[in-house]
Chain A
Amino acid sequence: MRNIYQPQEVKVISVSRESIDTVLLRFQFIDKKRQKAFAFLPGQFMQIGFPGWGECPISICSSSADSKKYFELAVRDVGQLTHKINELKNGDEAWVRGPFGNGFDTGLYTGKELILIGGGCGFVPLRPLIIDCLAGRIKPKSLKIFYGCLNEDTLLFKKQYPEWNRGAELSVILEKPTERWHGEKGLITALIQKRQISSSAVVVMVGPPIMYRFAVKELEAKKIKAQNIWVSLERRMYCGVGVCQHCAIGPYYVCKDGPVFSYSQLKDIPNAL
């Protein structure tokens, strides 16, 4: 019987410091066969950790088109384990399980206006969608990206903005920028209010719970249906397979039935968002 708790060893093959508190790491399985067989969907996550340090769930942020070669995780330094991950260098090893979760149902975006809304490190799981849309693997009619962040120091994936702006409409808004910032200032909800969004658009939104509560109101004001609003949730979790109960919300498990849910699935569950 396969041990569902058995992690596998991976090696860091490149490190890029994305922001003041977040590192982008590219990993490869030590076991070459495992790497060749590795496959995932955008929106799925891995459990990453070290012996003696525990595991934490982190969304995969590279494109599934490269899954046979490597996968990438962008990890924000918010606790002991994520701090240790942030200190990883080229050639260092870590232990992973996964991929877990349902991932984004990208077939639903075909021919639709696709709106991606990211708040803070919630921008991370949206990156594979952006890459796959620009490469033509996901085929929306148009792509708009709204990204809200605290300040310039915490902006993620800056190097890719010129490329993303060519293939999509990228809007960045900062809550507390420095005086040097010439872009928009405020909360992500301000972007949703200002921009044209058709009522038939499909919205994928990832961010903190407080962002969901306010952003959903703005989207509903734009007549976007609950079943066309998708979110990815974050919860404490251990097993990754719907047993340990930590990530349960109402009848669902974030690790197994999620992390991606439509707003129509969640709106009647108390405290889901």
Chain B
Amino acid sequence: MSGHELSAFIFVLICVIILLIMLKEDDKLKRLITAVFRDYFVYAPVKRDGRLLAQEAKVPDEIDWSGKLTENSWKELFLPHREKLFEGRQGLAETKGEQPPVACLGMNILDLKALTLFDLVFGNDVYYQNRRQKTVVIGYGADWPNSYKKSKVFSHNFKEDALEHVSFDVFIAGRKGGEPIFYSGSSVGRKLLESCRIKDFENIKFAGAIAESGPDKRMLEIKGKLERSANHYLWDNLDQVCLACGKCTVACPTCFCFDLEDKANPDDPRRDRRWGSCFYNDFSLVAGGHQELDTVRKKIFFWYYHKFVRIPKEYSHVGCVSCGRCTRTCPVGIDIAKNIAKISKLK
């Protein structure tokens, strides 16, 4: 081999090594996703028929990495639209089905915040906890954390340490033109990353749903004002506009009202839990026909009051994560951000 040939060989060798290293780096995300698809039923942002929905992904290529909020929320995976709590054949026996392992892959930070609230609300709910333990939560932010700064959050303040106060197992921070940064938020997340030979991840220690400095200031300000807003003209206006269709309660990632519903079917007597909606007439109906929330004004005020007063009061956590899904789904264009801006103007 001549000197010329040798230098050409060395050049090619170096190129191959660099390429291999680059491939290896790129493979981190691929390795993680392959592992997740191998071990879990994967739910992820998937675009079908022009709609971006959090739904079951059959193959990794289906996943949308734009970082955009999915049209639907992820709550169905944590609080199913209907679930059987008790078998009624012989008395009332707790339904004990094996929960399938589910991966929620690509949850936006706002959805992680909603999940954090659910973890607080259903902390002592055995059905929720059984499902939660079988679920691995993988958050994703494209161009993180700039993407969050850019989103129009009206219900609370954005903090740089946002990841320390939300529930997740792994968080993937996508960066423009660079490799993603991986964060682990739990021992499950750490083990998952390590099993994929991803070593340079940052370990985030969950510091509780509420920041050490106390509940969010903007949340408290809105709470105080909304509490005093019962006579505000806003509710009279909404009374005229809102159809009480309840679509917002379905779209909202933090709406968790539910009914317990029994079925007397002799073949399968059961007690179910199913989503409720404060916009429906039976929500507050009592024996004798009295209905507490008997006007649209009362219903929509009840809905806002739950999000902006009752939840902050009880959990010190925001009851609205500013995802804007209710605004997008509302058939008559009721805009929650604009309404909260109106309430914020109250002295």
Contacts and interface: CB of A to CB of B under 8 A. Distances in A.
Interface of A: 1-7, 9, 49, 51-56, 78-79, 82, 95, 208-209, 234-236, 238-239, 242-246, 248-251, 270-271
Contact of A248 (B126, B258, B260, B310): B310
Contact of A242 (B89, B122, B314): B314
Interface of A is mostly: loop
Contacts of B218: none
Of all A-B residue pairs in the complex, the 9 with the closest CB atoms, nearest first, are A51-B88, A52-B264, A52-B269, A78-B287, A245-B257, A54-B262, A238-B260, A79-B287, A3-B126
Interface in B293-336: 298, 301-302, 305-306, 309-310, 313-314
Nearest to A30: B91
21 contacts: A1-B129, A2-B124, A3-B94, A4-B124, A4-B126, A49-B262, A51-B270, A52-B263, A52-B265, A54-B260, A54-B261, A78-B288, A79-B287, A208-B290, A209-B290, A239-B258, A245-B257, A245-B278, A245-B306, A248-B302, A250-B309
Q: Which residue of B88, B256, B287, B309 has the most chain A CB atoms within 10 A of its CB atom?
A: B287
B193 interface: no
B284 A236 contact: yes
The CB with the most chain B CB atoms within 10 A, among A82, A234, A244, is that of A244
B313 A251 contact: yes
Contacts, number: 104
Contacts of B265: 52
Interface residues of B, dominant DSSP: mixed
Interface residues of B, number: 48
A236 B92 contact: no
Contacts of A4: 124-126
Contacts of A251: 227, 309-310, 313
Interface string B245-267: 00000000000111111111100
A246 B258 CA distance: 8
A235 B292 contact: yes
Given A51-B271, A245-B276, A270-B298, 8 more contacts: A1-B124, A2-B126, A3-B126, A5-B273, A52-B263, A52-B265, A243-B258, A271-B298
A3 B286 CA distance: 26
B319 to A, nearest CB: 11
B161 to A, nearest CB: 29
B94 A51 contact: no
A56 B260 CA distance: 11
Contacts of B92: 6-7, 51, 95
